[in-house]
Amino acid sequence: MSNNETEPDVIKRIIGYYIQKESSEISTVGLSRLTHAVFGSLRVQLNGTFEIGNAFSKRKFKNWQRAVKNSSSNVKSMISIGRWDSVTQLSSVLLNVKSRRMFIESIVDFLKEHQLDGIDLFWRWVPLAVQSEFCLFLEEVKIEFLNQEKQYILSITAPPVGIENYEDGYDIEEIIERVDFVNVYSMNYAAPWSNQWGTPTGPSAPLYGGLDARRKFSVDYTMKYYIRYTRKPEKFNLIIPFYVRHWRNVENAIKPGIEVFRNVTLQNNGAIGEVYMSRWTAESDGIELSNPSWDDTTKTLYIWKPETKTFITFETEKSIEAKANYVKSMNLGGVWIWLMENDDQDNSMIEAVSGQFGNPSDDQSQYGVIESVGSHSRNLNNRIIQNNQ
């Protein structure tokens, strides 16, 4: 083994996501293992303003904010704006100069009011039709941030590559010059979806592998795509999902000797199972997560029970180690976790992540923000001024 594979003292970004709808308590232990804590996902309105949500979401945000402030670590606090169902609003806001300006002002005002450190823009996914407008918007946000006394963090979430051409809406070579880092959504390659894509079974975030038409469905394929076009691996973070995925009505393996990919009998043209199940929910429901099988091709684990025709896949310390080794060998910036609330009561998953990278440094300057976005920013800033006149 190389030193990178054995030494747990390589400090990287460890970004934890929390969302409004999860009701579990926020673990102070989990927070202390993070470099960045992100609360999402806030919905943008057509006029460029955005909101946290209902009363429950507001309470969750206050609890999260209080936990971050009371944390003994120097974790950076961020909000995530955008949702899977916000693409239409996004396009309208980006195409309207007045709404776009209002959006930027709302972002800065919110960060100041709540004493936060930055934002993550998380839309699933940016349409090709507004690709240039999205880059322009990022430039405007970064310039606005540079005009503030505090150095705010700007990140985006980028899609998996090779699925429905999601990546076409992202001019990643331009985007990478405007953001501090990119969280790559390299997961959801297999799930018990309530449609025809609910079969076959498979790992949610396989490092490698994939069968036939899904041969590109892997973390490695996506990460190498982004690195190839930017030459800046240190700006990209690899996802580690903390949830459990559970299929029912599972049948034979698609190919002999490859047990992780199995056929599923669909009902009403969809799979039956749980797409996102927290580990503590699995434990309370009596779902056994011990003694999983290891698939060496995908570097993932699973439990297949032929007597009940159930299939479960999830991360463990072993798969997290494989992903951590990949991060180090590829010189990636770090990892991001979906979601912190999905860990078990012992925080075993975040402890496994921390064990691979070490605890966050008190001096987090190495995770810091862009101090300048280069001469192209000044040129584009001039174009922004002209467009708004």
What sections of 172-287 are H helices per DSSP? 172-175, 219-230, 279-284
Q: What three-state secondary structure class fits 249?
A: coil
- Cis amide linkage into residue 99, ω under 30° from 0: no
Q: What three-state secondary structure class fits 192?
A: coil
Instruction: Please name each of the domains of the chain with its CATH number.
Output: 3-241+316-388 (3.20.20.80)
pLDDT of amino acid 72: 78
DSSP 128: G
DSSP characters over 286-331: T---SS-EEETTTTEEEEEETTTTEEEEE--HHHHHHHHHHHHHTT
Rg (CA), the chain: 21
What is the C-alpha to C-alpha distance for residues 125 and 1, in angstroms, rounded to an integer? Answer: 39
pLDDT of amino acid 367: 55
pLDDT of amino acid 371: 39
pLDDT of amino acid 300: 99
Contact call for residues 367 and 45 (beta carbons, < 8 A): no
Closest CA to 222 of 185, 173, 259: 185
Residue ranges of the chain with per-residue pLDDT less than 50 = 1-6, 8, 362-363, 365, 368-379, 383-389
The amino acid present at 265, given as its one-letter code, is: T
Beta bridge partner(s), residue 51: 43
pLDDT of amino acid 187: 98
pLDDT of amino acid 53: 84
pLDDT of amino acid 361: 55
pLDDT of amino acid 366: 53
